[in-house]
């Protein structure tokens, strides 16, 4: 079932059906109330007649219709009455005997008023009341009273016409409004559906069409637009990463092939072969380091980022202990600043890898006899880990680019160019960010912000 059809059914057809049902129920209630009013009038009239039915001299039974000062109103409202004797025969009738039954079986009538509706030959309906009244001599008589239901039926007919007109008008209005609403809403959803189809086919180039609304669908469109932009950026980053990786892999492979080709052109001495193999081994090590970094990045993106309680201060101290040997070989001193304990919810493996990468870079670019400072700054929103070196620093124009995969500064040509990209991946996976600033007095300050989980 299409969205437009569903909206028409639940927005117009179903409410219209409920409206018709409500109007019908109201009609039944109105008919019951009107009939109850008629019955109440007949019962009161019967009670009045029963009190004075035998008040004439000789205690002869009679009715008071003709003696009423309201006889004109009784005739206009078509009130009728009849009296029946002990044998069930009709003794008298008002205003005539054309409607009242000629006989009534007294055995079928009790002292409790009996009410019924009868339709005459001309399709005119009347409401009848029958009740047995005992005479002072103990003889049973029956009072028969009737009133026309013409005004009652006219009122119901007028209600039916009005309810029909109101129901039809409201149904048409709801249908017209819902058709317009369904078309507009269906078109908006269809545009989003078409955009999602393009995303499913791998087309991230276009944004979803603009939506001028302010409801949940407009919010959904904005969310899809944000997701499209992120998917486009991720796809571009993936393509760029593949291209850069292919380039980085091609370079050592080309160097290895050239070295082998040159070596095989003529006989070589043992020393020359050892020298050539050493150069090939260096390129193999470079390939191995590159492959290792690529695997690290891939594992980070596939990781189940379950955050557990850790002590970030202990993690940083362990990382520093692991880098003391290479630092001492370069004559670099490592210092840690901050609290003795820094409780945090994080993924310890990737976070340790990020700190290791920053320490390795800082030691690598620090001058002999320099120092590297690692500072922990707990905050309300998270924890910041800062690694400061006293090397050449990072130019302002390169401070964002160095976090891209395979980007290397001119200050050093070795390395895979993936260490800082991994640092950013880890920070963003923890809901934070990674960035670099200049250190006062020279050098660089790398910051990793980890949001509290």
| Distance, CA of 376 to CA of 280 (rounded, Å) | 42
State which of 247, 269, 302 marks the end of a domain.
Answer: 302
- Split into its structural domains, the chain has a count of 3
The pLDDT value recorded for residue 65 is 65
Q: Determine the pLDDT at residue 411.
A: 43
pTM for the predicted model, two decimal places: 0.48
169 is a domain residue: no
Domain containing residue 251: 209-302
Q: From 128, 155, 182, give the residue that closes a domain.
A: 155
CATH number, domain containing residue 359: 3.30.565.10
Print pLDDT tens along the chain (453 aa).
Answer: 677 777 778 777 888 888 889 989 999 999 899 899 888 988 888 887 787 777 766 556 777 666 655 566 666 667 888 888 888 898 888 877 778 888 999 888 888 999 999 988 888 888 999 999 888 778 898 989 888 888 888 889 999 999 989 888 988 888 888 888 778 877 888 888 888 888 888 888 888 888 777 788 888 888 888 888 878 877 766 666 666 666 566 767 777 788 788 888 888 888 888 888 888 888 787 777 767 766 666 666 555 567 889 999 999 999 999 999 999 998 999 999 999 998 988 888 888 888 998 998 899 889 998 999 999 999 888 899 999 999 888 888 888 888 877 666 654 455 556 778 888 888 888 888 999 999 888 889 999 999 876
Per-residue confidence (pLDDT) for residue 248, from 0 to 100: 62
Strand, coil or helix: what is 236? helix
361 shares a domain with 294: no
Residues 8 and 150 in one domain: yes
Same domain, 279 and 345: no
Are 37 and 140 found together in one domain? yes
Structural contact between residues 353 and 426, judged by C-beta atoms closer than 8 angstroms: yes
User: Residue 368: how many CA atoms within 13 Å on its side-chain side?
Assistant: 2
**Token pair listed for 383:** 């924890």
CATH number for the domain harbouring residue 257: 1.10.287.130
Could you tell me where the DSSP H helices lie in 201-267?
A: 216-264
For residues 141 and 82, give the distance between their C-alpha atoms in angstroms, rounded to a whole number. Answer: 11
pLDDT of amino acid 373: 94
In this structure, the answer to whether residues 321 and 273 fall within a common structural domain is: no
Residues 6+ apart with CB under 8 A from 73: none
User: In terms of domains, do 369 and 319 share one?
Assistant: yes
């Amino acid at each position: 079932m299409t969205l437009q059809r569903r909206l028409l059914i639940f927005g117009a057809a179903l409410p219209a059906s409920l409206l018709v049902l409500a109007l019908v129920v109201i009609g039944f209630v109105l008919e019951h109330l009107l009939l109850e009013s008629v019955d109440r009038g007949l019962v009161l009239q019967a009670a009045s007649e029963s009190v004075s039915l035998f008040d004439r001299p000789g205690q002869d039974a009679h009715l008071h219709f003709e003696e009423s000062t309201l006889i004109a109103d009784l005739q206009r409202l078509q009130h009728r009455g009849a009296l029946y004797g002990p044998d069930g025969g009709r003794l008298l009738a008002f205003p005539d005997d054309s409607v009242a039954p000629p006989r009534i079986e007294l055995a079928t009538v009790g002292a409790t008023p009996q009410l019924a509706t009868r339709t005459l030959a001309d399709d005119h309906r009347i409401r009848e009341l029958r009740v047995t009244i005992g005479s002072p001599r103990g003889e049973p008589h029956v009072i028969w009273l009737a009133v026309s239901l013409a005004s009652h039926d006219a009122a119901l007919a007028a209600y039916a016409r009005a309810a029909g007109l109101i129901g039809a008008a409201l149904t048409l209005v709801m249908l017209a409004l819902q058709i317009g609403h369904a078309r507009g809403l269906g078109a908006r959803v269809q545009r989003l559906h078409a955009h999602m189809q393009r995303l499913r086919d791998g087309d991230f180039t276009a944004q979803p069409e603009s939506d001028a609304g302010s409801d949940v669908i407009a919010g959904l469109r904005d969310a899809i637009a944000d997701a499209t932009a992120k998917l486009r950026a991720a796809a571009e980053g993936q393509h760029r990463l593949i291209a850069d990786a292919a380039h980085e892999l091609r370079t050592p492979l080309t160097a290895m092939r050239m070295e082998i080709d040159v070596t095989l052109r003529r006989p070589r001495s043992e020393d020359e072969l050892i020298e050539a193999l050493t150069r090939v081994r260096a390129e193999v090590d470079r390939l191995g380091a590159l492959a290792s970094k690529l695997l690290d990045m891939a594992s980070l993106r596939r990781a189940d980022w379950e955050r557990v309680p850790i002590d970030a201060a202990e993690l940083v101290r362990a990382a520093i202990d692991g880098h003391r040997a290479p630092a001492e070989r370069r004559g670099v001193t490592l210092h840690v600043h901050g609290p003795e304990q820094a409780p945090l919810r994080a993924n310890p493996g990737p976070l340790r890898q990020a700190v290791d990468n920053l320490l390795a870079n800082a030691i690598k670019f620090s001058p002999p006899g320099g120092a590297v400072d690692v500072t922990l700054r707990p905050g309300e929103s998270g924890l910041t880990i800062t690694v400061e070196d006293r090397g050449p620093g990072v130019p302002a124009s390169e401070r964002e680019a160095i976090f891209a995969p395979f980007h290397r500064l001119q200050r050093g040509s070795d390395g895979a160019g993936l260490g800082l990209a991994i640092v950013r991946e880890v920070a963003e996976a923890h809901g934070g960010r990674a960035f670099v600033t200049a250190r006062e007095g020279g050098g660089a300050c790398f910051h990793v912000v980890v949001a509290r989980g």
